Amino acid sequence: MGKLTFLPSGKAIKVRPGQSVVGAARSARVVIPQRCGGHASCLMCRVVVEAGELTPPTALERRKMPEKDLNIGIRLACQAKTTNRDCIVRLPENKLKNVVQAALERQRMEEED
């Protein structure tokens, strides 16, 4: 068994080889957005492999993703599967969450003045 760590949350979970990254995320209560139910059609579940390894890209993943993205470690979490080695993946930042956090910070600063 390997360990899969999700950034930026830092949550980690032990995984069996062959488990999808989306499935492991669900078990760790980490939300990876997707609309297509794991069919690689929405391309919303992109993650970046920071360290370690996942299985090689599937044929479907190779058709859907630009080769340059795959070469720099960007994978579809619905297609990428775990191995028996540890891996660290980074989820893209949620833009809406960032906007809300910035607005709350501005409000806090104004209240302090």
Segment 12-25 shows an average pLDDT of 95
Segment 62-90 shows an average pLDDT of 94
- Domain tally, the chain: 1
Determine what percent of the chain is predicted with pLDDT higher than 90.
67
User: pLDDT tens digits, residue range 29-69?
Assistant: 999 988 988 888 889 899 999 999 999 999 999 999 999 99
CATH of residue 89: 3.10.20.30
Q: Quick one: pLDDT band at residue 12, thresholds 50, 70, 90?
A: very high
The parent domain of residue 39 ranges over 2-112
Indicate the SS3 state at residue 67: helix
Strand segments, DSSP code E, in 8-99 are 11-15, 46-54, 74-76, 82-90
Within 10 angstroms of residue 12's Cβ, the number of other Cβ atoms is 15
